[in-house]
Amino acid sequence: MVKKIKNFTPVADLLDKKPTIQSKMGLDERDDVILQMLQRDPSVSQEEIAKKLKLSQPSVWARIRNLKDKGLMKNIVGVNFKTVDLDLAKVDVSATDTQAVIDEFKNCPYFVNALVTSGRFNLCLFFTGTNLKDIEGIVNHHLRGDPKVKEVELNIVIATAKDFVLPLSFDCTNKKQKDCPQDCKRCIG
């Protein structure tokens, strides 16, 4: 007599139960609707969200606060690349110390963001400016001669498929930003 294993789950059933993005982030259906509505229209009122979800406004407020506390929702103020007359560069870098390279740009007003990646290029930097000459000067001056940088590839972003918000920080009160310790005035126009 063969005994049946009660806790056996066929492999096909396991493959059908792939985790969703929402489940990996710990979102339920109501949280998902809140995020979708706010992404479509950041000025949507909590009352409108409450009406759609059939919840009270304080319940919606609590859910939004919870999403923010978990770090799943962030408000970023910036400019939309699709609507401003700025140049945007994506600079792929192969570096021996990615954090040190990122740290060199933390006060640079032209620096938008960085992504540490895998592959041949382990760092992707984004810079913006009013002209390509300035961006090229920064790349040439700060990256091409840096001993921590093995290879650099500069690409200009021509267009974006969706709105792309650049959280620019031109802080005139930040002395470190105004007076780059690496003498940027020599490399930008």
Mean pLDDT of the chain: 84
Say which CATH topology domain 79-186 has.
Answer: Alpha-Beta Plaits (3.30.70)
Give the global pTM.
0.72
Greatest distance between any 2 Cα atoms in the chain: 86
Q: 22-69 is classed in which CATH architecture?
A: Orthogonal Bundle (1.10)
Q: Mark out the alpha helices in 41-174 (DSSP H runs).
A: 46-53, 57-69, 98-104, 132-138
Average pLDDT over residues 117-140: 92
Question: In what helix (H) or strand (E) does residue 154 lie, and over which residues does it extend?
Answer: strand 149-156
Q: For residue 18, what pLDDT is reported?
A: 64
User: Which tens digit of pLDDT belongs to each residue from 143-162?
Assistant: 998 999 999 999 999 999 98
Taking a C-beta distance cutoff of 8 angstroms, is the pair 67, 73 a contact?
yes
Integer Cα distance of 186 and 172 in angstroms: 19
Q: Is the pLDDT of residue 57 over 90?
A: yes
Q: Do domains 22-69 and 79-186 have the same CATH topology?
A: no
As beta bridge partners, residue 93 has 123, 152
Token pair belonging to 5: 């294993």
**Residue 108's pLDDT band (boundaries 50, 70, 90)?**
confident
Domain boundaries, the chain: 22-69, 79-186
Greater model confidence, 15 or 39: 39
- pLDDT of 103 over the 90 cut: yes
**Local confidence band at 26 (pLDDT 50, 70, 90 cut-offs):** confident
Q: Which amino acid is at 157?
A: V
pLDDT at 59: 95
